[in-house]
Amino acid sequence: MKRLFTFIALGCAAFTFAQNQLGKQFFIDTKSDEFKRGIVEVKEYVNYDAYLQLQRNLKSGNSAGINSDMIRQAYMTRKVALPKGNYVIDNDEQRFEFEIGNNGQFVGEGQFENKEKNLKSTYIFANGKLSEIHIFNTEGRLRKKNIFKGNIIEGHVFDHAGKLAQKIEIHTNLKEGADQVVTTYHKNGNPSKEVNTIKSTTKEFYQNGKLKLDQVDSKITTKYDPTGKITEKWYVTENGNCRETYDKGVISQKTCEDRSTKETTVSIYKNGKLDNYTVTDTKKKEVRKYDASKKLIETKKL
């Protein structure tokens, strides 16, 4: 009798965890705006035969067999709500094993496979939404981890040694193209470069962590030596641009070009103070030299 009860219990457990196989017309939409916010949706192609025909035409290069109506029909989808249970989606493009809880939400972990890229991922759910995605390479090594934090997806990319190589912060509530902060790292773990498309800034760093380059909106670029002292600065002005050079963090020369006056001014500094400056005037075809008090001391013809 005891063996009979054990058999029944095991049979019930197997039934409880049995996977419900969904048709090939079902899929997970990983390209939607909702997915970027951690909302995973099961969808169904309404006209699956049209979708398959479109894919066959695309793969064979049969452009004559493709028209706007076919495309519209092929990509018509609808969201699907599933009751509690364990499910598997398995079609030509993806495979996804997942569980739906009592409230109709995703629970636990789901195993996703992108068949086109031969990549496997683990989807981790919390409160029905994605909290993390772990993406593995073809060797089974963790390649990337996406962490969902409200309107931010924080992606961690790892090198072959498992060390953090790059961090990608995507703000899903901002306009595409001005929504990311991408940081790459040196082998020692210190930041190497940071590109911020939100603020239009670029920063580069030495291995010791000191700032190497700071660029703002491609209009101001400042360079530093490994000790943190400024060596060069370039910036855009109203009518041209200027370039400053520094010696041990102290300005030594500044060259400014003015497109409106066709003049180039080279200023010489000693101990950080203006000593003299020269103006090359291409309109008048002359070179004028001034002292620090702006007194003209020399004029030459070009």
* Whole-number pLDDT of residue 8: 32
The length of the chain is 302
* Whole-number pLDDT of residue 164: 97
* Whole-number pLDDT of residue 34: 95
* Whole-number pLDDT of residue 17: 58
- Residue 130 neighbours by CB distance under 10 Å: 21
- Cβ burial of 273 (10 Å; 0-12, 13-18, 19+) is exposed
* Whole-number pLDDT of residue 205: 99
pTM (whole model) above 0.85:
no
- Cβ burial of 89 (10 Å; 0-12, 13-18, 19+) is buried
From CA 101, how far away is CA 113, in angstroms rounded? Answer: 22
* Whole-number pLDDT of residue 65: 86
Tokens of 121: 């991922």
- Would you call 2 helix, strand, or coil by DSSP? helix
How many angstroms separate the Cα of 145 from the Cα of each of 106, 141, 154, 257?
A: 19, 11, 8, 48
Q: Which amino acid is at 25?
A: Q
- Would you call 212 helix, strand, or coil by DSSP? strand
Percent of the chain with pLDDT over 90: 92
**For the chain, what are the domain ranges?**
229-302
Residue 3 pLDDT greater than 50, yes or no: no
